[in-house]
Amino acid sequence: MTVSLAPLLMIASGSIHAVVNAIVKGGKDKMASRAMTDGSAAIILLPSLLLVPLPDGAWPWLAATALVHALYLYALIRAYQVSDFSSAYPVLRGTAPLVTAGVTLGLLGDHVSTLAVAGIALIGVSMFVLAIGRHLSRAGFGWAVLTGLTIAAYTVIDAAGVRAAPTPFSYIAWMFVTMGLVIVGLFAILTRGTLFASMRQQWRPGAIAGALSILTYGLALYALSIGPTAPLAALRETGMVTALIIAVVFLKERVTVGRGVAVLGILAGAGLILRG
């Protein structure tokens, strides 16, 4: 049951994650939109801290992931400020599984099947193919790649942290509350307090995104607590299929034949991972 459950949770996580990113991209003030998202998630889960055990054994991982997430969100916002959603998203999400696999398989000694490795590579390459033909400035590409690197970093950190905590739910609750405090505080400092006025104007979509972010990353963390890091991280990128649908239907962006083929490549990569 564990083997089949983790991939399903990660695929669902990827689709929901695309929705959250589209909400952030659609906000007028993207920093305020992201702060509202993480602040809402922290408020929603704050009462749950009374119900879960302290994350003993995972405190260093919680501190590390809060710092990396802060860098990740800043880079993500900068990428979305200078690039189209459908240009930046494939690059940043394509970078992440390749780097994650390199770290977990090459440095940490995790073992997965040859089919799974092929699937990870196919998903990563297909994600980059999705950006071909789209306008992506040098700055946009740089921010997108940096975002991908931070995604890989927090994935590895959180995989270790959720396994070190007494229960996955303990790590999930404390991570969201900690991250919300760090992100809202950091962005408030960067904007010299003007952030809060914009947050009030965008509270409704931000609150929805906050609830969805708990669902998407909560599913991902639980999956990582019961399955191997590299293939599961790659499976989360199947959310690009959802992201492409959002870009076409709601953001009115065009889809080429090449991008359609790339989506098929992502699905084929997911199939290889599931078979592996």
**Percent of the chain having pLDDT more than 90?**
35
Q: Is the pTM of this model over 0.75?
A: yes
Taking the C-alpha atoms of residue 120 and residue 50, their distance in angstroms, rounded to an integer, is: 39
Residue 204's Cβ-count burial label (10 Å; 0-12, 13-18, 19+) is exposed
Spatial CA neighbour of 213 closest among 244, 239, 186, 251: 239
Cα distance between residue 180 and residue 172, in whole Å: 12
Q: Is the pLDDT of residue 1 over 50?
A: no
In tens, the pLDDT along 220-244 reads 999 999 988 989 988 888 887 887 7
What sign for the dihedral angle of Cα 104, 105, 109, 111? Answer: positive
Who's near 10: CB < 8 A, 6+ residues apart?
Answer: 219, 220, 223, 227, 232, 233, 235, 236
Mean pLDDT for the stretch of residues 253-263: 77
Q: What is the pLDDT of residue 2?
A: 42
Domain edges within the chain? 2-275
Is a pLDDT exceeding 50 seen at residue 18?
Answer: yes
Per the model's pLDDT, the better-predicted residue between 21 and 229 turns out to be 229
Averaged over 11-21, what is the pLDDT? 85
